[in-house]
C-alpha cells in the first residue's frame, strides 16, 4: 500500500479548469512521529494562508510520515554490453589484448570512429609487413584459442600494431607483455604519438626463450594525440609469439579509471546491480576469476561482441568498494544452472574453509565479500533471452536456484525476476485495459509476477521489475484489440507532440502505473504486506527528448519527477538501479565529467534516509486518459501542485525539512507554503539545478551548461518563486517545541 498518497477523484470535464480542487481520500493510516519513535515534539505550525491569484497553496503536515527513503533507492545497473565497461570504467587502452580475432590488413581504408562515448568501434590489430608474416597459433596458445606468431626477416621489421589510441602529453603509461620465440630474438615495443621519427618511445625486450615470459612496459608520451600507435616488432631469423599485452595510464586504481571512479563516488548510489542484463544469460562466472591474463576471451551472443573477461567477479567487488556502494549480484539463470549459482555464492561469501572461498583467497581476496542481495536471472520472461523457458518451467528453475543458493548462505536476500501485466506486452485477445480488467489473465502463462508469487512463495524477499520508456507516444487500447492475434504491437502506438511538462511527467507516470499494478498483486496475495515483499526496479531508463550526444536539462527534469514519484512509495519500492551506472557521465578516452543525469542523482541523493511527510496542495495534476491509453496510469503521478511537482521529507535528525520542487515549464511559478506539525525558523539553504535552456548539457572539454547553484535565504518568504526549467531543493531549518 502506498503512503499518504491520496487518490484524487477529479471530475472528467475538460471545459473546466484542471486546477479545480480534488476530493482527497486517504488510502492508508499514517504513522505519527511519536509512533515511529522519533523522539521529537514539534511546535505548532504556521496558520494556513489563502493563495493569491495564480499561486499554488502547498500544505505540508510533518506529523504524517512514511517509511524512510532507502539508501538503495538511487542505485545503478551495469552490464558488459560490448565494450561499455572497458571504455568507461576500466583503464585498459588496447582492444582485443588477448587476440580473439585473427590479424590481417584492413580491406578498406579505416574509418576513424567517434571519440566520445563507450560504444565506438573496436580497434583492430594490423600487421607490420605483409599479412602472411602474422599467423595465428592455435596449437600452443597462451590464452584462449589462438595467439599471434610473427615470422621474422633479417632486414625488415615484422610485427603488429594497433592505431587509434588517445594519449596525453607527459602522461606515463604502464603495462606488460608476454613473449616467447626463437632463442636470442629481441623485440621492440613502441608507443608512437606523431609522424616524426622522434615522436615515439621504444623498449627493447629479450633475448627471448622458448617459454613465455612477462616483461614490464613503461612509456611517457611527449605530446597529446588521439591517434597514437602501439607497435610490437622485431627483426632477425625465426619467429616470436605474443601471449597477451596490456597498456594502461599510470595511476589507475586497481585497473579502474581514477577520473570515473572519483565522479561515481560523489553519487553515493547505495548499490550497483552487476553483472546483469542480457549479457549475463550466457556468461560463466568461472571464466571471470583468477589470473586476469589467463582468463580466455569469449563471445557474447546476446550483444554479438567479444569480451576479454578482464572485469569479472573480483573486479566488480573492487569497483563497488572504490565507489562506496553495496554490490547486488544477478546469477545466470539462462544457460546457467543452480549448481553454478550456488558455487558463485560460495566464491563470493564463503569462508576460506570452503573450497571456493579458498580459491578466492588464492586470488588475493581472503575476506568474504558478504554480498547480501542476489537476483535470480535476468528478464527470464523474454523470448529473446538466452536459455528462455516458459513460466511453468521457470518457476521450477527459480525454486531450485533459491534452495541451492540459500543452502550455501542462508543469510542472503533473494530477489526474483518477473514482469507485471503490462497491456502493451500482451497479444491478441489478451490485449486488455488496465489493472481492473486483467483478472482473466491472473495465473495465466503471461502473468510472470503472479506465477512467481503463487509458485515460489517463501523463496524470495523481493521481486525485480524492469522498464524502459520513450515519450511522445501512447498505447491505444482499441487499436491493439483490433490487431491480428499474432501481430506485433507496434501499430497500436500513436504519436503525440509532448510539451516539456508532458515529457517530464510521463517518466513519473511509469512509476505510478507500476505502483497501481503492485497494489493489484497485494490484493491477490495479501501476505505480501505483512511479509514486506518489496519491489526492486533494478533496470530502468527514460529515453528521448535530448539532442544527439547525451542527456540534457530536459531529460533531467523528467528524472526529477520520476524520483519524486519513487519516493512516494517507500513502503514497498525500496530498491532501483538506473541503466547504466555510467550513463551519468560524459566520457572520452582521457577525461570524464558528470552529465545532467549525474547531477540529478547527486542532488537527490540527499533524500536518502529522510522521512517522507504528507504534502497536499490546491492544484491537482490533470486527469489521465486511461480509458483510451493503456500506458496511462489510472491516477496521474505527481503532487497536487500542478504544474509543479513537489516532494517533502524530514531529515533523519529531525532538524530540517527538505522540499524538492520540479518546475518543468518555461515560466516562473509561485507557491505559498503552509507547514503544520513543526515550525520553520532560521536560514534556509537552496540548491537549484538549472541551465539556460532545455538543450543545456554538460560535455567533456566544454564549460558546463547545467550546474547546481547553492544560495541562502535569511527567512522563508510567504510566497516562494520557482525559476523556470529547474529542480530546486530547499532545506528548511526546524525549531523544536519548548
Torsion of CA 404, 409, 410, 415, to 10 degrees: -70
- Residue 63 scores a pLDDT above 90: yes
- pLDDT-derived band at 21, boundaries 50, 70, 90: very low
Return the pLDDT at 637. Answer: 96
- pLDDT-derived band at 457, boundaries 50, 70, 90: very high
Task: Please give the CATH architecture assigned to the domain spanning 102-249.
Answer: Sandwich (2.60)
Q: In the CATH scheme, what is the homologous superfamily, with its name and number, of domain 75-86+254-607? A: Glycosidases (3.20.20.80)
- Residue 489 scores a pLDDT above 90: no
Return the pLDDT at 167. Answer: 97
% pLDDT > 70, the chain: 87
Mean pLDDT of 506-527: 93
Mean pLDDT of 363-379: 97
Of 594, 395, 403, 433, the residue nearest 513 (C-alpha): 433
Between 438 and 484, where is the model more confident? 484
- pLDDT-derived band at 446, boundaries 50, 70, 90: confident
- Residue 117 scores a pLDDT above 70: no
Mean pLDDT of 119-138: 90
Give residues with Cβ within 8 angstroms of 517, minimum separation 6.
420, 421, 422, 435
In the chain, domain spans: 7-66+618-735, 75-86+254-607, 102-249
Three state DSSP letters for 551-590: CCHHHHHHHHHHHHHHHCCCCCEEEEEEECHHHHEEECCC
Of 381, 395, 388, 391, the residue nearest 335 (C-alpha): 388
Return the pLDDT at 543. Answer: 86
Return the pLDDT at 492. Answer: 83
Return the pLDDT at 650. Answer: 97
- Per-residue DSSP letter, 98: T
Please tell me the distance from the alpha carbon of residue 387 to that of residue 323, in angstroms, as a whole number: 33
- Residue 432 scores a pLDDT above 60: no
User: How many CB atoms are located within 10 Å of the residue 497 CB?
Assistant: 7
Per-residue pLDDT tens digits for 214-273: 999 999 999 999 999 999 999 999 999 999 999 999 999 999 999 999 999 999 999 999
- pLDDT-derived band at 425, boundaries 50, 70, 90: low
Mean pLDDT of 720-724: 95
Average pLDDT of the chain to the nearest whole number: 87
- Max Cα separation, the chain? 94
Between 731 and 430, where is the model more confident? 731
- Does the domain made of 7-66+618-735 have the CATH classification 3.40.50.1100? no
Q: Which residue(s) pair with 220 in the sheet?
A: 172
Q: Which of 200-209, 439-448, 464-473 has the highest mean pLDDT?
A: 200-209
- Residue 609 scores a pLDDT above 80: yes
Of 534, 669, 673, 656, the residue nearest 606 (C-alpha): 656
Phi, psi of 95 (to 5 degrees): -85, 150
- pLDDT-derived band at 628, boundaries 50, 70, 90: confident
- Residue 24 scores a pLDDT above 90: no
- pLDDT-derived band at 26, boundaries 50, 70, 90: very low
Return the pLDDT at 423. Answer: 62
**Weakest mean pLDDT among 165-174, 391-400, 421-430:** 421-430
Question: Residue 409 is placed in which grid cell?
Answer: 548462505
- pLDDT-derived band at 4, boundaries 50, 70, 90: very low
Return the pLDDT at 6. Answer: 30
Residues 540-560 as b/e (b if ≥16 CB within 10 A, e otherwise) read: bbbeebbeeebbbbbbbbbbb
Return the pLDDT at 122. Answer: 87
Per-residue pLDDT tens digits for 458-488: 999 999 999 998 888 888 888 877 877 777 7
Between 612 and 492, where is the model more confident? 612
Per-residue pLDDT tens digits for 570-589: 999 999 999 999 999 999 99
Q: Is residue 371 within 8 Å of residue 274, measured between CB atoms?
A: no
- Give the three-state DSSP class for 635: coil
- Residue 5 scores a pLDDT above 80: no
- Per-residue DSSP letter, 131: G
Of 514, 511, 330, the residue nearest 420 (C-alpha): 514
Return the pLDDT at 735. Answer: 82
* Prediction pTM value: 0.89
- Residue 544 scores a pLDDT above 80: no
Mean pLDDT of 293-305: 94
Mean pLDDT of 339-356: 98
Return the pLDDT at 119. Answer: 58
SS3 content of the chain, % helix, strand, coil (to 5): 20, 30, 45
Amino acid at each position: 500500500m502506498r503512503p499518504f498518497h491520496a487518490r484524487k477523484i477529479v471530475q472528467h470535464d475538460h471545459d473546466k479548469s484542471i486546477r479545480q480542487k480534488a476530493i482527497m481520500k486517504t488510502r492508508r493510516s499514517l504513522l505519527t512521529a511519536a509512533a515511529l519513535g522519533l523522539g521529537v515534539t514539534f511546535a505548532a505550525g504556521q496558520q494556513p494562508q489563502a493563495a493569491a491569484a495564480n499561486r499554488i497553496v502547498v500544505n505540508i503536515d510533518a506529523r504524517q510520515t512514511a517509511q524512510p527513503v532507502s539508501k538503495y533507492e538511487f542505485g545503478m545497473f551495469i552490464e558488459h554490453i560490448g565494450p561499455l565497461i572497458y571504455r568507461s570504467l576500466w583503464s585498459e587502452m588496447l582492444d582485443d589484448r588477448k587476440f580473439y580475432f585473427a590479424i590481417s590488413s584492413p580491406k578498406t581504408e579505416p574509418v576513424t570512429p567517434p571519440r566520445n562515448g563507450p560504444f565506438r568501434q573496436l580497434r583492430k590489430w594490423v600487421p607490420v609487413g605483409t599479412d602472411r608474416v602474422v599467423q595465428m597459433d592455435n596449437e600452443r596458445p597462451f590464452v584462449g584459442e589462438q595467439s599471434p606468431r610473427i615470422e621474422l626477416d633479417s632486414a625488415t621489421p615484422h610485427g603488429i600494431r594497433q592505431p587509434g589510441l588517445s594519449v596525453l602529453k607527459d602522461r606515463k603509461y604502464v603495462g606488460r607483455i608476454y613473449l616467447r620465440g626463437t632463442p636470442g630474438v629481441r623485440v621492440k615495443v613502441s608507443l608512437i604519438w606523431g609522424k616524426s621519427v622522434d615522436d615515439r618511445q621504444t623498449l627493447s625486450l629479450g633475448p627471448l626463450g622458448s617459454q613465455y615470459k612477462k616483461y614490464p612496459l613503461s612509456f611517457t608520451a611527449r605530446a597529446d594525440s588521439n591517434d597514437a600507435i602501439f607497435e610490437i616488432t622485431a627483426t632477425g631469423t625465426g619467429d616470436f609469439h605474443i601471449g597477451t599485452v596490456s597498456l594502461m595510464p599510470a595511476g589507475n586504481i586497481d585497473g579502474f579509471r581514477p577520473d570515473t571512479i572519483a565522479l561515481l563516488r560523489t553519487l553515493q548510489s547505495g548499490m550497483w546491480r552487476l553483472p546483469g542484463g542480457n549479457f549475463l544469460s550466457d556468461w560463466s562466472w568461472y571464466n571471470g576469476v583468477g589470473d586476469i591474463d589467463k582468463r580466455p576471451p569469449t563471445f557474447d551472443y546476446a550483444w554479438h561482441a567479444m569480451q576479454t573477461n578482464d572485469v569479472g567477479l573480483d573486479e566488480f567487488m573492487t569497483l563497488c568498494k572504490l565507489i562506496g556502494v553495496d554490490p547486488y549480484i544477478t546469477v545466470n539463470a539462462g544457460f546457467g544452472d543452480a549448481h553454478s549459482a550456488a558455487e558463485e555464492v560460495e566464491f563470493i561469501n564463503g569462508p576460506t574453509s570452503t573450497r571456493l572461498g579458498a580459491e578466492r583467497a588464492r586470488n588475493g581476496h581472503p575476506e568474504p565479500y558478504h554480498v547480501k542481495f542476489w537476483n535470480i536471472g535476468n528478464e527470464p520472461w523474454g523470448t529473446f533471452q538466452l536459455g528462455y523457458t516458459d513460466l511453468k518451467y521457470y518457476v521450477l528453475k527459480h525454486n531450485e536456484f533459491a534452495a541451492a543458493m540459500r543452502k550455501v548462505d542462508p543469510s542472503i536476500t533473494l530477489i526474483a525476476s518477473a514482469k507485471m501485466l503490462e497491456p502493451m506486452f500482451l497479444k491478441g485477445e489478451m490485449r486488455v485495459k488496465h489493472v481492473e480488467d486483467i483478472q482473466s489473465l491472473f495465473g495465466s502463462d503471461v502473468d510472470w509476477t503472479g506465477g512467481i508469487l503463487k509458485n515460489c512463495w517463501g523463496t524470495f524477499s523481493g521481486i525485480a521489475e524492469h522498464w524502459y520508456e520513450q515519450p511522445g507516444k501512447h498505447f491505444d487500447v482499441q487499436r491493439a484489440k483490433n490487431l491480428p492475434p499474432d501481430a506485433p504491437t507496434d501499430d497500436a502506438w500513436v504519436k503525440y507532440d509532448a510539451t516539456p511538462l508532458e515529457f517530464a511527467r510521463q517518466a513519473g507516470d511509469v512509476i505510478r502505473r507500476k505502483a497501481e499494478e503492485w497494489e493489484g498483486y497485494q490484493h491477490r496475495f495479501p501476505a505480501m504486506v505483512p511479509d514486506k515483499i518489496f519491489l526492486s526496479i533494478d533496470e530502468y531508463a527514460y529515453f528521448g527528448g535530448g539532442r544527439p550526444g547525451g542527456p540534457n536539462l530536459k531529460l533531467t527534469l523528467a528524472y526529477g519527477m520520476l524520483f519524486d514519484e519513487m519516493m512516494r512509495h517507500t513502503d514497498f519500492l525500496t530498491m532501483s538501479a538506473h541503466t547504466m551506472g555510467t550513463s551519468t557521465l560524459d566520457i572520452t578516452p582521457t577525461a570524464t565529467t558528470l552529465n545532467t543525469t549525474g547531477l540529478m542523482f547527486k542532488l537527490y541523493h540527499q533524500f536518502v534516509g529522510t522521512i517522507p511527510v504528507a504534502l497536499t496542495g490546491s492544484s491537482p495534476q490533470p486527469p489521465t486518459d486511461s480509458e483510451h491509453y493503456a500506458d496511462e496510469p489510472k491516477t496521474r503521478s505527481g503532487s497536487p501542485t500542478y504544474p509543479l511537482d513537489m516532494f517533502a521529507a524530514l531529515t533523519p535528525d529531525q532538524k530540517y525539512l527538505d522540499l524538492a520542487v520540479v518546475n518543468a515549464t518555461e515560466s516562473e511559478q509561485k507557491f505559498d507554503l503552509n507547514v503544520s506539525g513543526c515550525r520553520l525558523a532560521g536560514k534556509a539553504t537552496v540548491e537549484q539545478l538549472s541551465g539556460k535552456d532545455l538543450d543545456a548539457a554538460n560535455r567533456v572539454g566544454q564549460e558546463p551548461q547545467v550546474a547546481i547553484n547553492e544560495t541562502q535565504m535569511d527567512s522563508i518568504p510567504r510566497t516562494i518563486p520557482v525559476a523556470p526549467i529547474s529542480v530546486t531543493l530547499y532545506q528548511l531549518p526546524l525549531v523544536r517545541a519548548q
